[in-house]
Chain A
Amino acid sequence: MRNIWTIAKREYDNYFNSPLAYVVAFSILLPMGIYFSLIMWVGSQQAMFGGPAPESSPINWLFVFLMIFLSPALTMRLLSDEARMGTLELLLTAPIRDFELVAGKWLGALMFVIALAALTLVYPLIINNYVTPGIDWMVILSSYLGMILISAALLSLGTGISAIFTNQFAAFFVTLGLFFFLWFMVSLPASYLEQGGDVLNYLSLSTHFSQSMNNGTINLGDIVYYISLIALGLFAGTTAVEIRRWR
């Protein structure tokens, strides 16, 4: 366990040395800030005519939506670059298990995303200031839990794919392709099918956040879905590292 933490800590620190991580942070925080301003402006206009108060759930949805495109950039070099630079040889001859290496890399990336998500807590705080009697913090908690779980699932898949490739751009595009597929395409045929549509809907990434946790509904199906993806990604990554040893 301590090894996972050691790897994660280095990876987390490493993000702050890389321009890429700042680009990712910028690309998430800027659209969210603009979107938030718009929501507040529209909300203030509506309030004059007795409209509904602004909510933070659309902003959190935007965070998750942007993660689909940006998280592959955070995971692409996690293991592929170690293989390219040869430093994988150091890690694979250090007394750590392959799983600890992969899990540590994933946790490091997740810590970075959690730090990003923590910055966005400023938006519900601002909204809370302007609406009476304040916002429902349990909904916010559920929403952030969902954001972190879905990010964890995405990062785990990305880490797993990064372990397969030596070229980080190959890892990036394969990861992006997979997320695109899981988010937009899996559930497309669902409405045309007589049977099995539910299964496809369940497999789709997009159905497990916006309609449930983002609105304060935590159900077991969503949690199981996220945990399964996390396990799948870490398992794939560990297997890929083990296969590297045999080559």
Chain B
Amino acid sequence: MIKVSGLTKDYGARRAIDNLSFDAQQGEIVGFLGPNGAGKTTTMRILTGYMPPTDGEALVAGYDVVEESLEVRKRVGYLPETVPLYTDMIVFDYLKFMGELRKIPNLDARVDEVLDMVGLFDRADGYIGNLSKGMRQRIGLAQALLHRPEVLILDEPTIGLDPGQVVEVRELIREIGKERTVLLSTHLLNEAQNICDRVLIINKGRIVTEDTTENLQARLIGAERVIIRVRGEADELAKTIKQVKGVQGVETKQDGSVEFEFVSGKDVRPEVAKKVINSGYDLIELRPLGMSLEEIFLELTGSESKKK
């Protein structure tokens, strides 16, 4: 559905994306991960026909984004990062206006339908300007879904939503992603893990790595790190934990907690917990230290910068 090859975009002398190539199939949710300024938004803007690339080629739903821009735009639903909306318009009128530009048949019913999908049916008669940030985000999403697009391009779709809404929106995206192609950008690893079938990590306009979320994690995190906290002395605790087989890299922290690692797949947490309790400690906390995107990122880009 999306096929990108050798895509390059220069803003003046600055190269925003550099020879980018990837593809996405129908029924696939692809996550775009990367820090600010990595080129996520630029790539999305090219794919939605907003701006032409400097070089390279991109096909969306079989149409070239430069040569057949209008055909591409008919088939793409787009939620821009800033969620631009006409704040002085009524929710229903706004969606109707966007729907008229897309010549949707039975528009009124369809607007009601998408408002229901994003949970804002009861706000249809209100002004957009009176809505909260999370609601506006969902109006943006409603606008992107309106014409049942084959390809959905979402730039940070869950930013600004409260936790309950995040779950709902992710559920919605997963549902849509069963039949259609979804390309979404995020900087939250757990979001990517949660909804994406495949992840592209992008930095400085280049794809650093591309893999399924599971593989990515397994590849990156050879060992899982755990934090443990008990009532009492950390030094004593560290000694106790070291006795458990499979525990590595024990470290005492200043705040009285202890961190340790174990090799992925050989979970020693039950043994550690038993040992700690049997030794008479009051166990307060035992939790995995997930690897953040930043850490993964440093891991992936670290080797590159070391070479320099």
Contact = CB atoms under 8 A, between A and B. Distances in A.
12 contacts: A3-B101, A17-B88, A90-B78, A90-B143, A93-B49, A93-B78, A93-B80, A95-B70, A97-B70, A245-B52, A246-B51, A247-B51
A94 interface: yes
B80 A89 contact: yes
Nearest to A17: B88
Nearest to B11: A247
Interface in A76-100: 85-97
Highest count of chain B CB atoms <10 Å: which of A7, A90, A97: A90
Contacts of A246: 51-52
B133 interface: no
A90 B80 contact: yes
A87 B97 contact: no
Interface of B: 11, 45, 48-52, 70-71, 73-74, 76, 78, 80, 82, 84-89, 97-98, 100-103, 143
Contacts of B87: 85
A14 interface: yes
Contacts of A86: 80, 82, 84
Given A86-B80, A247-B51, 19 more contacts: A2-B103, A6-B97, A6-B101, A7-B101, A10-B97, A14-B89, A18-B88, A85-B86, A86-B82, A87-B84, A88-B84, A89-B82, A90-B78, A92-B50, A93-B50, A245-B52, A246-B51, A246-B52, A247-B11
Contacts of B102: 94-95
B51 to A, nearest CB: 5
A203 B103 CA distance: 41
A247 B45 CA distance: 12
A94 B143 CA distance: 11
A10 B98 CA distance: 10
Contacts, number: 61
Contacts of B76: 93
A87 B103 CA distance: 19
Interface in A58-112: 85-97
A94 B88 contact: no
Given A6-B100, A94-B98, A245 B51 contact: yes
B67 to A, nearest CB: 14
A10 B73 CA distance: 21
Contacts of B143: 90
Contact of B101 (A14, A17, A96, A245): A96
User: Interface extent on A, as a size class?
Assistant: 20 to 34
Contacts of B84: 85-90
A4 to B, nearest CB: 11
A6 to B, nearest CB: 4
Q: What are the nearest 5 A-B pairs in CB distance? A: A86-B84, A87-B84, A95-B73, A93-B48, A95-B74
A92 B85 CA distance: 14
Contacts of B48: 93
Highest count of chain A CB atoms <10 Å: which of B49, B50, B88: B50
B86 A87 contact: yes
Interface string A176-216: 00000000000000000000000000000000000000000
B145 to A, nearest CB: 14
Nearest to A14: B88
Contacts of B50: 89, 92-93, 245
A94 B101 CA distance: 7
Contacts of A87: 84-86
Nearest to B86: A87
B73 A94 contact: yes
Highest count of chain B CB atoms <10 Å: which of A3, A88, A94: A94
A104 to B, nearest CB: 10
A86 B136 CA distance: 14
B184 to A, nearest CB: 16
A90 B88 CA distance: 16
B7 to A, nearest CB: 16
Interface in A100-144: none
A111 to B, nearest CB: 16
